[in-house]
Chains A and B, each alone.
Chain A
Amino acid sequence: MNLEQQRQQEMQKEYHVLVEQIKPKTRVLRNCILAFLVGGFICLIGQIFLQIYLGQGMGEREAAAATATTMVFLGAFLTGLGIYDVIGKYGGAGSIVPITGFANSIVAPAMEFKREGFVFGVGARLFTIAGPVLVYGFLISALIGIIFYLIR
């Protein structure tokens, strides 16, 4: 009886170890699949707009800019409606990495802190996440430009 109990306890322990080994991995896998599907779908919608704009005779760079603008609007609008939060709950990085996620990161904190006023509320919070993105983006682009100037 005692031996039986011991064996059962050991088996339970082994089981827990096994669960701990497998659980985070399957979570990561699940997150990755969802990120792939959601992120891919957003890019697919972007590609449809890109082809529409190219079909209207826009240049490649203009069409890409128009597509980015359209996707920014969609991301901001869906955030306002509360739909982007739902997409983000499942999509993880699939909803963050596309430019719609950038739009979401602008609207969500600005909307949240509206009660702090139009200057320090909406005005400042628009850039809670967009600020760092633009700062590092502009820094790296200026740096690349300077290096290119020196080695050209």
Chain B
Amino acid sequence: MKLLLAFVIGGLLCVIGQLFMDLTRSSITPAHVLVGFVTGGAILSALGLYQPLVDLAGAGATIPLSGFGHSLAQGAIRAVQSKGLLGAFAGGIEATAAGIGAAVVFGYAIAVVFNPRS
């Protein structure tokens, strides 16, 4: 059941991204979609609207980049509670450090080892 919900909710979030690309100006690139999802996810999360989606769909809500925005927002809020104002600057980055670190390490290693196909 959880697997099905992850599939459906994750799929629907991607459909929102696809509609963005197909129905708006043609200057919308993947970079715009990713920035939009992170920002949108963070705002929804701060308003308390994203956590219910995570509880419902698990990875279906955390794997799309809006889930990255959710981690950033919740990290900042948690850190403000424990450290005060300094937490606002550190919290989001602390909460997402594992993912970002992994992206740089794996990304670098694979870009060096492999060559483009075309």
Interface residues of A (CB under 8 A from B): 27-28, 31-32, 35-44, 46-51, 64-69, 71-73, 76-77, 79-82, 85, 91-94, 96-103, 105-108, 110-112, 114, 118, 122, 126, 128-130, 132-134, 136-138, 140-142, 144-149, 152
Contacts and interface: CB of A to CB of B under 8 A. Distances in A.
B103 interface: yes
Contact of A133 (B9, B38, B57, B108): B38
Given A48-B3, A144-B76, 5 more contacts: A92-B21, A96-B30, A107-B111, A130-B107, A140-B69
Smallest CB-CB A-B distances: 7 pairs = A43-B10, A145-B88, A39-B14, A141-B92, A40-B11, A80-B114, A145-B76
B80 to A, nearest CB: 5
Contacts of B21: 31, 92-93
Contacts of B112: 114, 118, 122
B111 A101 contact: no
Contacts of A102: 34, 65, 68, 103
B17 A43 contact: no
Nearest to A91: B14
B42 A144 contact: yes
A49 B60 CA distance: 12
Contacts, number: 285
Nearest to B14: A39
Given A96-B33, A110-B107, A140-B73, A35 B11 contact: yes
B59 A47 contact: yes
Given A44-B3, A141-B42, A148 B80 contact: yes
B82 to A, nearest CB: 12
Which among A28, A41, A43, A130 has the greatest number of chain B C-beta atoms within 10 A?
A43
Contacts of B46: 144, 147-148
A32 B80 CA distance: 39
A110 to B, nearest CB: 4
A122 B98 contact: no
Given A43-B9, A99-B68, A145-B76, A31 B18 contact: yes
Given A28-B19, A44-B10, A102-B34, A39 B64 contact: yes
B15 to A, nearest CB: 5
Given A43-B64, A68-B99, A99-B99, A94 B3 contact: no
B76 A141 contact: yes
Contacts of A138: 72, 92-93
Contacts of B73: 140-141, 144
